[in-house]
Amino acid sequence: MSTVDLPLNEQVAVVTGGSRGIGRAIALILGNMGLKVVVNYARSSDAAEEVVKIITENGGEAIALQGDVSQAEAVDTLIKTSLEKFGRIDVLVNNAGITRDTLLMRMKSEDWQGVIDLNLTGVFLCTKAVTKPMLKQKRGRIINISSVVGQMGNPGQANYSAAKAGVIGLTKAVAKEVASRGVTVNAVAPGFIATDMTEKVKAEDILQFIPLGRLGTAEEVAGMVRFLATDPAGAYITGQVFNVDGGMVMA
């Protein structure tokens, strides 16, 4: 039996950074599809519980679990608790991330390391933690949220660009390691999405670089994640990067 053969209401998804922005949209869309959802958060407990409430009020099942995914012990607890609660993990969405933007010459070591720790090491830790149970059940879909800046770079975001580029490399390497056991690993690379992380960006400064002429929405990114996580076609897609960017990056 493959992931596609398992009814959605029997599948479990873990979404890191699931309380706000893109992570919130992903948690909600997967919950509405019928999956049981673990909403991970670092500090926004009220926001995470709100996501859980919305999912449960719509007839789904969800829990909120606190944990800084840049820390190995927190990740081990997150995955262990998820497995104890639901018995399995079918989908992992590595979404948690931060920005600490400044030009390289002004960037402090802690600003570099903090972004690398959460945005890249966190993906490594969470992916490693779910690999064993997914390989054992011979099914699983891992979806990493990267960014177009990991492909093209962006002034003032050397740390973020490096981390997101690393996520793409990690995605491709792990995809090759786990494919033989029915586990897929893909990345979604959003462009400029209207969330609290981009609210400080002047839209007029970037719209000229977006062929579709507008910012994206968190729901549009979540839609791509939903496809990779639940659509039957997703079972035969691995090691790929899907840009949701309005045409900013065209390979």
pLDDT in tens, 213-236: 999 999 999 999 999 999 999 999
pLDDT in tens, 92-112: 999 999 999 999 999 999 999
Please compute, for residue 199, the number of CA atoms within 13 A of its CA located in the half-sphere on the CB side: 4
Residue 204: Cβ within 10 Å count: 7
CA–CA separation, 157 and 107 (whole Å): 9
Q: Which domains does the chain have, with CATH numbers?
A: 7-244 (3.40.50.720)
Q: Which of 160, 166, 189, 234 is catalytic?
A: 160
Question: What pLDDT band is residue 177 in, cutting at 50, 70 and 90?
Answer: very high
160 annotated active-site: yes
Average pLDDT on 147-175 reads 97
Residue 50: Cβ within 10 Å count: 16
Name the pTM for this structure: 0.94
| DSSP secondary structure letter of residue 201 | S
Q: What average pLDDT is seen over the chain? A: 95
pLDDT of residue 24: 98
Q: Percent of the chain having pLDDT more than 90?
A: 92
